[in-house]
Structure 1
Amino acid sequence: MRVCIVGGGKVGYYLAKTLLEHGHTPVLIEDDPAMCRKVADSLDLTVVCGDGTFAEVQESADVAHCSAMVAVTGRDEDNLIVCQLAKQVFKVKRTVARVNNPKNAAVLKKLGVDIAVSATDNLTHLIEREVETAAIQQLLSLAGGTASLTEVLIPQGFAHAGKTLAELIIPKDAVVISITRDGELIVPRGNTQILVNDKVVVLAKNTAFHELAQSWNLADVK
């Protein structure tokens, strides 16, 4: 998943680093040349030096081909402009803004930001859940936020519809707990098929769930 991050401070840096470790492709926009050099020297990613509130800078970062825009500068008004620009001009599907003043969260959402986050610790986890597909819903966070119980609604166009669990790739740190089909609960076995409109509940570490979402091509379903 390609994600654009505007803001190369501690939050932006560690978010980019974590996304890289999870197999994503972050692109960073930062207007401080010294910080751009620092990030470019430390991480294997594209760094665009410029003001992310300007369309030409976002165009240089190829924002139009990003699945998400994440604005984590220290100014709420800049984060709002960044997200509005990405969505309205470059048609980015999901926008996430760091909110430095929690009182601004409702305002940012009202003005078009999809997700306004005042706490930054779980940004990576939140982005993966919200951007990969709207069919994924976290039911319960576990183990200090490192694992979760998650429901996946198998959407139309699912490439593996009709396959059994034994035929699908399921990471070792992920377990399919249940399947609900037409209102009926199914306790899954290896020969249980996955069908469109099934609600599949998965218990997994966050990294394992991301692997499962990739192997099941959930991010590619439109």
Structure 2
Amino acid sequence: MRIVVVGAGSVGRSITRELLSNEHSLLVIDKYAREERVKAIPDATWLLADACEVATLEEAQLEHADVVVCATGDDKVNLVVSLLAKTEFGVPRTVARVNNPRNEWMFDEGWGVDVAVSTPRLMTALVEEAVSVGDLVRLFEFQQGKATMVELTLPLDSPYCGSSVADLALPPECVLVGIIRDQLPMAPVPEESLQALDELLFLATRDAERTLAAKLTGRRRDEVQTVLSDRNF
């Protein structure tokens, strides 16, 4: 794929190196990239210019990009470039970094963002995932499909401890996609027996989340709703 990364800070450079290792074609746009940064990633093509200028994006031939990754430390820049990439150049997929969680509401299709990645939100979710047993933790939300990835650590008193995956009566619009046990990932095969403290990963809609958590924990649905709202997701 041809991928354009906007922003050559630590995040942008890390993304670029990772994508290069997967044999993608990379163009990095950064107005202030120092010479040592450019030399550190010689396999990427560099354009030292302002990505918010349409002329820069034309020079970058953005219309031929498969993905644009907006990874700067400035939310305004990430939004403007995402919008231009979508509306002016028809880029199929845009990924934008969210620096300030208060700005998350803007990072949607209206601003040309297909996938918004909020580092503070992800870190918060991972911390809560590590310490919460029996609580539903939303790890990720997919912008277009309105689906979420959620995790629930099966409590000791769950009615499903000892049951098989096949016995799970999951609500509609909810799919078990993985089990983490003893820090190792496992496929959720039908005959696998669930154990207390298993970390269960689901794809679900927001409406299905509370029903799912209530079923697995034995709580009332309204109790689960309070837990979720208290987390400010």
| Shorter-chain TM band | 0.5 to 0.7
Partner of 1:85: helix, strand, or coil?
A: helix
| TM score, norm. by length of structure 1 | 0.53
Alignment of 1:98-113 (within 5 A): 98-109=97-108, 110-113=110-113
Task: Determine the structure 1 residue equivalent to 2:213.
Answer: none
CA 1:66–1:148 in structure 2 vs 1: closer, same or farther (change >3 Å)? farther
Partner of 1:98: helix, strand, or coil?
A: strand
CA 1:21–1:141 in structure 2 vs 1: closer, same or farther (change >3 Å)? farther
CA distance in 2, matches of 1:141, 1:70: 30
Higher-RCO chain (CA-CA 8 Å, sequence separation at least 6): 1
Q: Which ranges of 4 or more aligned residues in structure 1 deviate by more than 3 Å?
A: 138-143, 146-149
Partner of 1:19: helix, strand, or coil?
A: helix
Task: Determine the structure 2 residue equivalent to 1:20.
Answer: 20
Alignment of 1:205-220 (within 5 A): none
Task: Determine the structure 2 residue equivalent to 1:64.
Answer: 63
Partner of 1:11: helix, strand, or coil?
A: helix
**Higher alpha-carbon deviation: 37-46 or 94-103:** 37-46
Q: Name the amino acid aligned to 1:11.
A: V
Alignment of 1:1-222 (within 5 A): 1-34=1-34, 37-43=35-41, 44-109=43-108, 110-119=110-119, 139-140=177-178
Partner of 1:13: helix, strand, or coil?
A: helix
Shift of residue 103, structure 1, vs aligned partner = 2.1
Structure with higher Rg: it is: 2
Partner of 1:27: helix, strand, or coil?
A: strand
| TM score, norm. by length of structure 2 | 0.51
Confirm or deny: 8 A CA contact 2:11 2:71 kept in the other structure.
Answer: yes
Partner of 1:97: helix, strand, or coil?
A: strand
**Per-residue Cα deviation, 1:81-130 (whole angstroms, up to 9, x for no partner):** 0000111111101111100011212212143311111129x9xxxxxxx9
List alignment gaps of at least 5 residues for structure 2: 123-141, 150-176, 190-233
**Per-residue Cα deviation, 1:5-39 (whole angstroms, up to 9, x for no partner):** 100000000100000011111110001142xx223
- What RMSD over aligned residues (CA atoms) do the two structures have, in Å? 3.4
CA distance in 1, matches of 2:73, 2:105: 18
Partner of 2:119: helix, strand, or coil?
A: coil
List alignment gaps of at least 5 residues for structure 1: 123-129, 150-176, 178-222
Number of residue equivalences: 137
Partner of 2:3: helix, strand, or coil?
A: strand
CA distance in 2, matches of 1:141, 1:48: 43
Q: Name the amino acid aligned to 1:50.
A: A
CA distance in 2, matches of 1:58, 1:84: 12
